[in-house]
């Protein structure tokens, strides 16, 4: 039955209207869980605030397990959902650059938009930067095209690559997340003792 838009159960236009509401859900949870603050995000990398890490991993696990259940009940055809393609060299390079951008700018695209919505000027500047960065990429794209398309592995999942079933991956991520929650909570406790002026 699902994904219902792909299987023609709703019209293309209705799908766009729903997109606005799904986006609203996403923006709401981002803002409500503290992603609209650059100091919360940067905090994860200095050990004083791991809330964004916990929310992020919880979301990954909930989705993984949820997808498996929906597929198990026959409600969702997993072969019809979008799987991100893998291009090894360019995606590794891109991720390193994004990590650098995140620690300097304090946001990622989604969080900056949620933060703009509540009046953060720093987020607005970050969003303007995003626009400039993508413009620069588009302009130099002819020189990067070969690199951009190199190392293509296809739309591969972890299961395609390793042969290990998705259920085990979901289980593995859950275990890692639980350990991470425990470790980050104890780091947070230690680091926060040293910081006085920041409100948690």
Partner 1 sequence: MGVVLLVTIFISGRELGISGAVRDSVVATANVISPVAAKESTYYGKFLKNGHHPMDNWLDYEVLGVILGGLLSGILFKRIRKPFVERGPNVSKGRRLTAAVIGGILFGFGTRLGRGCTSGAALSGASTFAFGGVLVMVILFASAFAFAYFFRKLWI
- Residue 181 binds partner 1 (CB under 8 A): no
The binder of partner 1 chosen from 50, 51, 111, 184 (CB under 8 A): 111
Contact between 163 and partner 1 per CB under 8 A: no
User: Which of residues 51, 114, 184, 188 is near partner 1 by CB under 8 A?
Assistant: 114
Distance CA 67, CA 70 (A): 5
Which residues inside 17-76 make contact with partner 1, applying CB under 8 A? 17-33, 36-39, 42-43, 45-46, 48, 55-56, 58-64, 66-67, 70, 75-76
Q: Does 137 sit near partner 1 (CB under 8 A)?
A: yes
How many residues form the binding site for partner 1 (CB under 8 A)?
A: 125
Q: Which of 180, 181, 183, 195 touches partner 1 by CB under 8 A?
A: 195
Distance CA 104, CA 27 (A): 23
How far is Cα 79 from Cα 76, in angstroms, rounded to an integer?
9
Cβ within 8 Å of residue 84, ≥6 positions away:
155
CB of 52 to partner 1, least distance (A): 10
DSSP state of 155: S
Both structure tokens of 186? 């104890």
From 90, 61, 44, select the one nearest 184 (Cα to Cα): 44
**Alpha-carbon 90 to chain mean position:** 18
Q: Which pair of tokens denotes residue 157?
A: 């999942």
SS3 23: helix
Judged by CB under 8 A, the residue of 73, 138, 163, 193 near partner 1 is: 138
Asked if residues 31 and 119 have their Cβ atoms less than 8 Å apart, the reply is: no
Q: Is 176 a residue that touches partner 1 (CB under 8 A)?
A: no
Among 51, 73, 74, 81, binds partner 1 (CB under 8 A): 81
With binding defined as CB under 8 A, does residue 98 bind partner 1? yes
CB of 32 to partner 1, least distance (A): 4
Give the CA count within 13 Å in the CB-facing half-sphere of 40: 20
Asked if 149 interacts with partner 1 (CB under 8 A), we say: no
Nearer to partner 1, 129 or 181 (CB): 129
């Amino acid at each position: 039955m699902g994904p219902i838009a792909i299987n023609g159960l709703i019209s293309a236009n209705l799908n766009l209207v729903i997109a606005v509401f799904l986006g609203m859900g996403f923006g709401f949870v981002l803002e409500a869980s503290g992603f609209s603050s650059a100091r919360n995000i940067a905090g994860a990398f200095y050990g004083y605030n791991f809330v964004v890490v916990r929310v992020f991993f919880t979301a990954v696990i909930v989705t993984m397990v949820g997808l498996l259940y929906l597929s198990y009940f026959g409600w969702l055809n997993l072969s019809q959902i979008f799987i991100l393609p893998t291009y090894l060299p360019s995606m590794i390079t891109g991720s390193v650059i994004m990590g650098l951008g995140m620690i300097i700018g304090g946001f990622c695209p989604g969080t900056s938009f949620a933060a703009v919505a509540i009046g953060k000027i720093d987020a607005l500047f970050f969003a303007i930067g995003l626009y400039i960065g993508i413009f620069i990429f588009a302009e130099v794209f002819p020189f990067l095209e070969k690199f951009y398309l190199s190392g293509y592995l296809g739309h591969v999942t972890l299961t395609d690559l390793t042969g290990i079933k998705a259920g085990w991956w979901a289980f593995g991520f859950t275990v890692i997340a639980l350990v991470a929650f425990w470790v980050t909570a104890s780091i947070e406790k230690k680091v926060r003792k040293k910081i006085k002026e920041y409100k948690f």
